[in-house]
């Protein structure tokens, strides 16, 4: 199991953002859904090892991330796109991805090829020499995805990756997700239920800091028969949330 | 190795893209292990193409060295440096307006500048890349030490100039500067970096600024024997930092 989380607790001051959360994920693309404030970003940040849990256990790629050696091992094999991408505006896209490859300890000889491949996969090769400050929101998102996949990660965490992408780019991104999910565990936090329905093999639904549903995209769709919503997945999403709150 | 080598004619044909695929492949395979023939082909090639290839190779091979620079010289550090330099100027101005018979202001201000630089360079919300940096295997201790060294390197030389101009002994503030930075780094293994640097500044306020404000005589932190004590503090704190480095993680990441 690539991700095994048990009884995870994360608290800000007195409020518990994640409250006894359990989660197990293996290879494939998993959509992380939930309303605002459900704890999606907090969970992704804990799995990205940038946020320390107040309680519970987190094992990633077989390693206990509360131990420094475990964290370091995981970080070498991790790809992470945060909700708010931090970057240096003066870097070119290539420099940004190269820098991240260096930080992730990609062997120097492999960096040029890895950067080329990552940029090609997100269709940014033509803008490799552009300064980050000149990119549109969608291009910045794609540059963020490129840095996340440059080390060919075993665990890929993407927080709102499709924000700012136009419909054509989103279709391309879903194809990329399916490719990545063939060899890695990919967790995609998103508000867009249709992204999950078309690209994810598994669905995790969070509400109020707890997992209220795990299953396949088909099971999500089937859960909402006869309910409200424009698509089967949306109907399932709403029905499961209401069920969890009653 | 065979006795076959590239002739000037075949080198020119290769450079002009007139060889068939098999001949071109043979030439490429051969020049990978024969320096003389590689030189021959290079001489026949268009210099503009060679320059372009050279630039691309250099661009691709310099990333590790540049990585260290990028890790240190973040935009946040630029801000920290500016603050340090501005602090020096303020110090000089203070010296100008203060009575020359009183304790030189540089002695009181100088140890605080590296702390300010460290706080500005590593505090949450300042470094835009902190979240991404924390998700990589790069050593937090290395990041902190690189940035602390950068702050010291940029702030110490102008302070030395000011110190020499005012006849204020450099060791009187160099040693506490090192001691306070080391103290802040050691405290970072337990506290947030902005709290740790604030605590170190508080120590300085207690031992130097407060007594200086209250009396004319040099405060204990700037007494002639004090540099040895500050150096000892620096050594202890560095040792503590190394021992407790496992507790250094996620520095500068907002909660």
Q: What is the pLDDT of residues B162-202, one digit of tens each?
A: 777 777 778 888 899 999 999 999 999 999 888 999 999 99
Please report which confidence band the pLDDT of residue B1 belongs to, taking 50, 70 and 90 as the band edges.
very low
Nearest chain A alpha carbon to B244: A68
Do A82 and B249 make contact, defined as CB atoms within 8 angstroms? no
* CB nearest A75 (choices: B67, B127, B135): B135
Question: Of A84, A86, A82, A92, which is closest to residue A134 (Cα–Cα)?
Answer: A92
- Interface predicted TM-score (ipTM) of this complex, two decimals: 0.90
Residue B228 has pLDDT above 80, yes or no: yes
pLDDT, residue B62, reads: 55
Contact yes or no for B115/B197 (Cβ under 8 A)? yes
CA distance B77 to B122: 8
Q: What is the pLDDT of residues B104-127, one digit of tens each?
A: 777 888 888 888 878 877 777 777
Higher pLDDT, A152 or B32: A152
Torsion of CA B86, B87, B92, B94, to 10 degrees: 120
Chain A residues with CB within 8 Å of chain B CB: 12, 45, 48-52, 68, 71-73, 75-76, 78, 80, 82, 84-91, 95, 98-105, 108, 111-112, 147
pLDDT, residue A3, reads: 96
Element (H, E) at B61: helix B47-61
DSSP string over A13-49: TTEEEEEEEEEEE-SEEEEEE--TTSSHHHHHHHHTT
* CB nearest B67 (choices: A48, A78, A102): A102
Distance linking the first and last C-alpha atoms of chain B: 63
Within 13 Å, how many C-alpha atoms sit on residue A246's CB side? 6
β-pairing verdict for A55-60 and A3-12: antiparallel
User: Which of A11, A12, A50 to substitute to test the interface with B, most B CBs within 10 Å?
Assistant: A50
Interface of B with A in 43-72 (CB under 8 A): 60-61, 63-64, 66-67, 70-71
β-pairing verdict for A3-12 and A15-25: antiparallel
Residue B246 has pLDDT above 90, yes or no: no
pTM score over 0.95: no
Q: What is the pLDDT of residues A105-150, one digit of tens each?
A: 888 888 889 999 999 999 999 999 999 999 998 899 999 999 999 9
Q: Which residues contact B101 (CB under 8 A, 6 or more apart)?
A: none
pLDDT, residue B59, reads: 60
Contact yes or no for B42/B12 (Cβ under 8 A)? no
pLDDT, residue A147, reads: 96
Higher pLDDT, B163 or A68: A68
Distance linking the first and last C-alpha atoms of chain A: 32
Q: What is the pLDDT of residues B20-73, one digit of tens each?
A: 888 888 888 888 788 889 889 988 988 888 877 776 666 655 555 566 666 666
Q: In B84-192, where do the E strands start and end? A: none
pLDDT, residue B80, reads: 61
pLDDT, residue A5, reads: 96
Contact yes or no for A151/A77 (Cβ under 8 A)? yes
Torsion of CA A169, A94, B72, B191, to 10 degrees: 20
Is B249 near chain A, with CB under 8 Å?
Answer: yes
Q: How far is A98 from chain B (nearest CA, A)?
A: 7
CA distance B47 to B43: 8
Higher pLDDT, A204 or A12: A204
Residues of A in contact with B133 (CB under 8 A): 103
State the average pLDDT for chain A: 91
- Segment A61-71 mean pLDDT: 93
């Amino acid at each position: 199991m690539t991700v095994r989380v048990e009884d995870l607790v994360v608290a800000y001051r007195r409020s518990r953002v994640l409250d006894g959360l359990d989660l197990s994920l293996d290879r494939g693309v998993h959509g992380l859904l939930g309303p605002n404030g459900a704890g999606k970003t907090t969970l992704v940040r804990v799995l990205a090892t940038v946020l320390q849990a107040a309680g519970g256990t987190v094992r990633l790629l077989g390693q206990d991330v509360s131990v420094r050696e475990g964290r370091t091992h995981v970080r070498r094999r991790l790809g992470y796109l945060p909700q708010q991408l931090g970057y240096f505006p003066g870097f070119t896209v290539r420099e940004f991805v190269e820098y991240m490859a260096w930080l992730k300890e990609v062997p120097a000889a492999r960096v040029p090829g890895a950067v080329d491949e990552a940029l090609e996969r997100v269709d940014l090769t033509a803008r490799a020499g552009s300064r980050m400050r000149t990119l549109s929101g969608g291009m910045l998102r794609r540059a963020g995805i490129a840095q996340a996949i440059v080390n060919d990660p075993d665990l890929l965490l993407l927080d709102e990756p499709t924000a700012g992408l136009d419909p054509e780019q989103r279709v391309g991104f879903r194809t990329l997700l399916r490719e990545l999910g063939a060899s890695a565990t990919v967790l995609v936090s998103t508000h867009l239920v249709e992204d999950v329905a078309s690209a994810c093999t598994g669905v995790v639904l969070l509400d109020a800091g707890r997992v209220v549903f795990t299953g396949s995209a088909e099971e999500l769709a089937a859960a909402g028969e006869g309910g409200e919503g424009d698509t089967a997945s949306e109907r399932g999403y709403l029905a499961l949330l209401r069920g969890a709150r009653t | 190795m065979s006795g076959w080598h590239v002739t000037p004619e075949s080198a020119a044909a290769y450079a002009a893209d007139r060889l068939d695929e098999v001949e071109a492949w043979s030439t490429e395979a051969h020049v990978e292990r024969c320096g003389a023939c590689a030189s021959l082909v290079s001489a026949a090639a268009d210099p503009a193409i060679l320059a372009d290839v050279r630039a691309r190779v250099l661009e691709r091979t310099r990333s590790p060295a540049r990585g260290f620079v990028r890790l240190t010289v973040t935009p946040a550090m630029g801000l920290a440096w500016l603050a340090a330099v501005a602090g020096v100027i303020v110090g000089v101005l203070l010296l100008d307006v203060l009575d020359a018979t009183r304790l030189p202001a540089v002695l009181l201000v100088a140890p605080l500048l590296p702390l300010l630089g460290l706080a500005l360079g590593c505090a949450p919300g300042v470094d835009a890349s902190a979240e991404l940096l924390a998700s990589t295997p790069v050593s937090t201790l290395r990041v902190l030490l690189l940035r602390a060294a950068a702050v010291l390197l940029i702030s110490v030389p102008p302070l030395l100039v000011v110190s020499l101009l005012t006849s204020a002994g450099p060791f009187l503030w160099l040693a506490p500067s090192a001691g306070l930075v080391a103290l802040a780094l050691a405290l970072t293994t337990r506290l947030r970096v902005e709290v740790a640097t604030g605590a170190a500044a508080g120590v300085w306020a207690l031992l130097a600024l407060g007594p200086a404000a209250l009396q004319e005589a040099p405060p204990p932190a700037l007494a002639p024997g004090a540099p040895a004590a500050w150096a000892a503090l620096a050594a202890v704190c560095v040792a503590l930092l190394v021992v407790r480095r496992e507790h250094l993680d996620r520095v500068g990441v907002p909660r």
